[in-house]
Amino acid sequence: MGRTVRHLFVAGCVLLWLIPLYLLVVNALTPATEYAGKPEWTFQGFAFLDNLDTAWNVAGIGDSFQSSLLYAVVCGLVAVLVAAMAAFAVVVLPIPRPAFWFWLIYSGTLFPLQMFLAPLFGMYADANLYDTRIGLMLVYTAWAVPFAFFLIRNHMTTMPPELTEAALIDGASFPRIFWRIHVPLMKAGLGAAFIFQFTAVWNDLLLGITLSRSPDVQPVMAALTTLNNAYSSAGPPVILAGALIVSAPTLVLFLVFRGLFLRGVTASAR
């Protein structure tokens, strides 16, 4: 009886997730001229490429897509590298009060992002970083470090300290130990952290609409709001086609590296 209830519950959750996805796909394929003003439950044609062309070229979502790809890849990689170095310092290096440094870095995940928006906006305006790619890359990298640090640090604590002791006896320096021993052994954890941070940066809306406004600087989620407001007369199918193509990178990334992601999360949870 209990197993049946669990299966029904899981099936219900899957159904609740699939219904909106089905509506998204069906209405993204619907020709904008044939949209009746309410969600379509059956296929009315195949106009996805026309809808996507309007969203990508006319509304300019293509520039924002490329910007978000740059932000997610570069900021995710830099954040993971910085987080790995910080985790190595806290776990391996003989620094005083490692628990203090852990909580100091990890506290970046404990405060709501909204409380930083007003100071960030003022600071960016004074430093001429507002509406610049470098400005967004700086804040995305700093925002991504604390959680990546948490994951990588947890993974690093599972590694036997005898590895470091043996390397030190052989005369290896701490940088050599980090790059030659810890990084190769933490590939799964580093990969999982990167996937998390890529997804977080890619899906960001709040920082994007606060710190940028130009189409070639704005991240893609902020561009979707512009598409919804400025091109609402084109019809929901155009907006939904843009939303569908925007959701593809994170889905593809997870499907391609799901094995690495699961191994990394499992190792970090031990």
Phi/psi-derived region of residue 255, left when phi > 0, alpha when psi is between -120 and 50, beta in every other case: alpha
The owner of tokens 């999982």 is 192
First-last CA distance in the chain:
32
Q: Which residue has the tokens 């910085």?
A: 82
Contact, 148 vs 80, CB < 8 A? yes
The answer to whether residue 3 is domain-embedded is: no
With b meaning 16 or more CB within 10 Å and e meaning fewer, what string describes 44-58? beebbebbbebbbee
| In a domain? residue 43 | no
Number of domains within the chain: 1
Within a domain: 68: yes
Look at residue 231 and give its three-state secondary structure.
coil
Instruction: Report pLDDT for 37.
Output: 67
CA neighbours within 13 Å on the CB side: how many for 69? 12
Residue 189 lies in a domain: yes
Identify whether 157 is part of a domain. yes
**For residue 21, what pLDDT is reported?**
81
Give domain status of residue 99, yes or no. yes
Both tokens of residue 93?
């290096």
For residue 41, tell me if it sits in a domain.
no
- Structural domain of residue 163, as residue ranges? 60-235+246-268
Tens-binned pLDDT, residue by residue, of the chain (270 aa): 677 888 888 888 888 888 888 877 877 777 766 676 677 677 777 777 777 777 777 667 888 889 999 999 999 999 999 999 999 999 998 889 989 999 999 888 888 888 888 888 999 999 999 999 999 999 999 999 999 999 999 889 888 888 888 888 888 888 899 999 898 988 888 998 999 999 999 999 899 999 998 888 999 888 887 776 655 555 677 777 788 888 888 888 888 887 766 776 666 555
Give the pLDDT confidence score for residue 232 in this predicted structure: 56
Is residue 213 included in any domain, yes or no? yes
At 243, which amino acid appears?
A
Which pair of tokens denotes residue 2? 């209990």
pLDDT at residue 85, as a whole number: 95
Residues 6+ apart with CB under 8 A from 72: 197, 198, 199, 201, 202, 249
Q: What is the pLDDT of residue 128?
A: 92
Interatomic CA distance for residues 5 and 194, integer angstroms: 36
Amino acid occupying residue 59: A
Total number of residues shown for the chain = 270
Total Cβ atoms within 10 A of residue 9: 10
pLDDT of residue 59: 65
Say whether pTM exceeds 0.75.
yes
Pick from 133, 188, 199, 136: nearest CA to 159:
188
Any idea what the CATH number is for the domain that residue 173 is in?
A: 1.10.3720.10
